[in-house]
Structure formats: structure tokens, C-alpha cells
Structure 1
Amino acid sequence: MDTFFLSHGTPTLSIDDTMPAQHFFRSWLPAAVAGAQPPRAILIVSGHWETATPTVNVVRGNNDTIHDFEGYGFPKSMFQLEYPAPGAPDVAKKAKELLEQAGFGPVKEDHGRGLDHGAWVPLMFMYPEANVPVCQLSLQTGHDGAYHYDLGRALAPLRDDGVLILGSGNATHNLSCMAPVAEGTPVPQWAAEFDGWLQEALLAGGRHDDVKQYEEKAPHGKMAHPSPDHFLPLHVALGAAGEDAKAELIHHSWYNATLSHASYRFTTTTKNKPIAACKE
């Protein structure tokens, strides 16, 4: 299966039907973006779960819906939304096995954590019946893009078993610059240049090494991502598609002029090579 990076944006995407990104996620099944049939299961890496070491949520039964935006003044209706997708404990266990075989262990299991909004907000529109099993894998923000790219490569065999691998974050994500702006406000230079660099690096050049080193290679890398949490899911999805993967921009819009909703599909063009064990 192809892998995908989704820019999930602000949690208000869940209730704001004027946002182009919500319309994109609603079109997912009708347009068969990931294929004519739903996947057997989904493994999603969200910018909202960080741990010191890789961790999978092994949920038997339905996933809880984590409303992890309390205290930010969001409407009460958002806290009533639920996405009770079944857990995917077999996929979580297989992901753990693959990661440990590649040297990323020990991988921990979390048996109580549900889905954070980086997972359930896009999925509620993509698979609205909540009938596709879902598990999550955490990020390690103490490690760089290359580490997460290799982590994705280790997960690649899941795709052969009908598992859809999704990274959920944002192409640009600087919350300190997200004050409300008037409609039609131009995108600031730092956001436009980073977003454009990413498109060119992925679509025209296939420059995976540059993307791994975006803080040094990209214009305004630290401004676009003061914290790497919303960009590292892209590296996981890209790595899972392989070193010669072809990228496709499947959606592009802006929120408040600074938050890019650019989303990408990554298609494998050659067979993935096994990776060496991760070493300190």
C-alpha cells in the first residue's frame, strides 16, 4: 500500500466545514485515495504522542477518543465527538517485532491509551464508520528525521499485509504565529518558502536526505517547526515507502495564513532493501 503524510491542522477541523482540509479528508473514500477498498488496518504516527522510546498502543476492543485540547477554549461540542475505532493489537505487536528486529528496541506497549486528535480528527472524515482497526506508534522527539525515516523503513513490511501507514502532523507548525488573520491575508515569507522547499524536495528532486536534515537544508526550518513533533510523522511515512519512493501532493491549503495543510502520498517504486540494525 502507499503511505501518506496528512496535515491535520487545528483541532477545530473536526467541526469547521468551511476548511478545505476537511473537504479533502471527506473525499478520501469516495475518491479512493488509498484504494477502492478500506485497508485491513491503520497504523498512524501522530505529532501528539511523544515518548522516550518507541511505544505502540495495544488496544483490545475499541479505542478511546482522547480530547487532548482541554484548556484552550475550544467549543464544548468538540469534547462530545467520539471515534470508537477498533484497536489493532495484532498490527501493534507486529510493528513492535519489526522495530525490535531493526534495532529500535525495546519497544513498549501501552494498553490504555486511545487515539489523540492528530489521529481521530482526520480519520473521522476519512473512515467515518470507524470500522477500520487502528493502532498508534509514538514519536521520539529527542531523535532526528533520519532516525524516524529508518523507523518507517522498518515498518514497511506491514504494507504488504494491507496495513495503511499514516503520518499525521503539519507541513508548517508554528503556533506562536497563529493569531487570527483576515481572509486573504498573504502567507508570510518564512511559511511560503519552507512549504515550497518541501514540495520541491519531495516532488522534483526526491531529496530524502535533505528532508531528513531539514533544519539545516530548508529555508526557515526552525521557524516553520520550532519543535519537530509535527514534522517527524512525515519522515516515518516517507521511510516506510522506501528510498526511491515517488511523492505526490494530494492536498494543499492554508489555515490562518501560516499553517500549511499540505498532504502527500508516497508510492514505492522499487522493492525496499532491509536496513541495518540501529546503533547508538
Structure 2
Amino acid sequence: MLSTASLKMAGLKDTFFISHGSPTLSIDDSLPARHFLKAFQQRVFPEKPNSILVVSAHWETKDPAVNAVHGPSDTIYDFYNFPKLMYQLKYPAPGAPELAIKVKKLLEEAGFERVYEDKKHGLDHGAWVPLMLMYPDADIPVCQLSVQTEMDATYHYNLGRALAPLKKEGVLIVGSGSATHNLRTMQGINDSVASWAAEFDNWLKESLLSGRFEDVNHYEEKAPFAKLAHPRPEHFYPLHVAMGAAGVNPKAELIHDSWTNYTLSYASYKFTEST
């Protein structure tokens, strides 16, 4: 494993998009995605980052907002009618106010004129649910960045491009959303997948693995069943940020693929900077 000092010199080459699916990922051992994330450090990304920037589907703002929290971040329970145990879970990772300042500066330099520091927002479940499995010690400073659902996918890709220099400082950039996200079509069925959901998911995989990133940026016109897979775009835009933050012409790799509830894909991707 690389030391923190060596990470500061060498930087990181990878960014990630994680499909966090249902909040029950935090407690349900029957979910394959839970086991994938628990093995993340051992099997996917052994380097320990200096800090983590999470772009969460569950923080929507009109203009980019970054949380600049001093001390442990609050754990936000932004879900309802789930098992009591889930409301007792904590992920007290240190805040990363210095990283927040760097994020704000990079975005402003790239032409994003209104970028806000939020000094109260903690970690919503799009951040803490996957992170508590990936980095259970909660000892890495975490900063969150919001998504802007009034804007398009290309906007979020460019948001990511502006943040790419952070990798050189050992910052792990993670987009947390879902490859498919239509709550109205979910059913209590785990042994089959709706044909339209599978078709969209396969299109996404083929597009990413073949480097057709512009198609992914224009998924609403290019992808089959795009509006059915994502009636609203907030769970998809974190992928575009992660894709953009990897740099020019990155290589995409599918690192996990599973389904629950008939239409909910947990497909997750690694984006590696071209060398």
C-alpha cells in the first residue's frame, strides 16, 4: 500500500462511479453490492487517499455547493420508513474544509461563477452509505459536492474536468448515484430484470467501455429508454462528474454489476486517466 507521502508525489489516476442503490445497502448482507464495497480496498483500490470528494445524487442545488465542515461530519438520515437500526448508524469522518476551498477555486477558475461553501451540510446517505463500507474506519477527510438538476450531463462532465487536478494531490473523486433509478418501477423481485432496464444498462456499459463518452454525455438522445431509466437525472449526473474528472480519453472499467428489485442496477465503474 502506498504511503500518504508517496501519494502526494505520485497522485492518483482513478476516479469512480458507485451505484449506491437502496439505503439498505448499509445493513443488508444479501446484497452483492454490499460485499463488493466491503472488499473495495482489497480488490479494487488499495491506495489510501489523502481525502475524498463525493458527488452525491442526494444533494441538489441550483449552483455548485461544497461542504466545508470542520470536525466530524454529521450523518444525515435522508430516508424514511426504514429499519430503526439504520438511523443509529454513524459515519463521523473528518470534514475537509481545505479541500472544499480548492474545489471552489478550481470550479471558479473553470468558469463556474457561483460556487458556494456550505459550512453546515453533513454527509447524506449517497456519501456515507458507500463510504462506511469502503472505508469503515472513517479516518479519511470527506468533502461533498452537489449536483445541479437544472443543468445537463455535459455541464456535469465539465464540472468533473475542472476537478481533475485534485487527483494529483491524492484526492479520491467518487460519484455516487445509480446506473438506473426509477423508484416507481421497482418491485420485490430479485431474480429477474426488466428488459428496458437491462437494455439501458447494457448500452451504458458498451458506451463507456468503448470510450463513447460523448454519447454518454448525450444519453437522453442516444440511450434506449433513457427517460424510463432516469425520470430525473440526479442519480446519473455523478457518473458524468467522475468520468470528466478522470481527464482526457480515460479508460472505463466495469468493477461491479448486480441488480435488485427488478429495475435497480448497482453497476459501478472505474475511470483511469490515460498515460
TM-score class, shorter-chain normalisation, is over 0.9
Q: 1:37 Cα deviation (Å)?
A: 3.0
Distance 1:222 1:89 in 2: 36
- Select 1:52's aligned residue among 18, 40, 62: 62
- Which residue identity lines up with residue 175 of structure 1 in the other structure? L
- 1:94 corresponding residue in structure 2: 102
- Is 1:12 matched with 2:20? no
- 2:76 corresponding residue in structure 1: 66
- Which residue identity lines up with residue 155 of structure 2 in the other structure? Y
- Select 1:232's aligned residue among 213, 237, 248: 237
- Which residue identity lines up with residue 101 of structure 1 in the other structure? E
Identity %: 63
- Which residue identity lines up with residue 202 of structure 1 in the other structure? L
Question: Secondary structure at the residue paired with 1:266?
Answer: strand
- Is 1:151 matched with 2:159? yes
- Select 2:264's aligned residue among 253, 259, 265: 259
Matches within 5 A, 1:167-206: 167-181=175-189, 183-184=190-191, 186-203=192-209, 205-206=210-211
Contact 1:146–1:212 (Cα < 8 Å) also in 2: yes
- 1:84 corresponding residue in structure 2: 92
CA-based RMSD: 0.8
- Select 2:220's aligned residue among 191, 211, 215: 215
- 2:5 corresponding residue in structure 1: none
Unaligned runs of 5+ in 2: 1-11
- 2:36 corresponding residue in structure 1: 24
Question: Secondary structure at the residue paired with 1:250?
Answer: strand
Q: 1:188 Cα deviation (Å)?
A: 1.0
Unaligned runs of 5+ in 1: 271-280
- Which residue identity lines up with residue 217 of structure 2 in the other structure? K
Q: 1:153 Cα deviation (Å)?
A: 0.2
- 1:139 corresponding residue in structure 2: 147
Distance 1:174 1:161 in 2: 36
**Which ranges of 4 or more aligned residues in structure 1 deviate by more than 4 Å?**
none
Matches within 5 A, 1:116-135: 116-135=124-143
After superposition, give the CA deviation of every residue in 1:121-157 in whole Å (9 maximum; x if it has no partner).
0000100000000000000000000000000000000
- 2:3 corresponding residue in structure 1: none
Q: 1:243 Cα deviation (Å)?
A: 2.9
Distance 1:119 1:257 in 2: 24
Distance 1:50 1:216 in 2: 23
Distance 2:113 2:36 in 1: 36
Question: Secondary structure at the residue paired with 1:228?
Answer: coil
- Which residue identity lines up with residue 267 of structure 2 in the other structure? A
Contact 1:169–1:229 (Cα < 8 Å) also in 2: yes
Distance 1:147 1:106 in 2: 14
Contact 1:208–1:243 (Cα < 8 Å) also in 2: no
Q: 1:242 Cα deviation (Å)?
A: 1.8
Distance 1:179 1:195 in 2: 18
Q: 1:105 Cα deviation (Å)?
A: 1.9
Contact 1:51–1:139 (Cα < 8 Å) also in 2: yes
Task: State the aligned residue count.
Answer: 263
- Which residue identity lines up with residue 134 of structure 1 in the other structure? V
Contact 2:187–2:262 (Cα < 8 Å) also in 1: no
Q: What TM-score does the superposition give when structure 2 sets the normalisation length?
A: 0.94
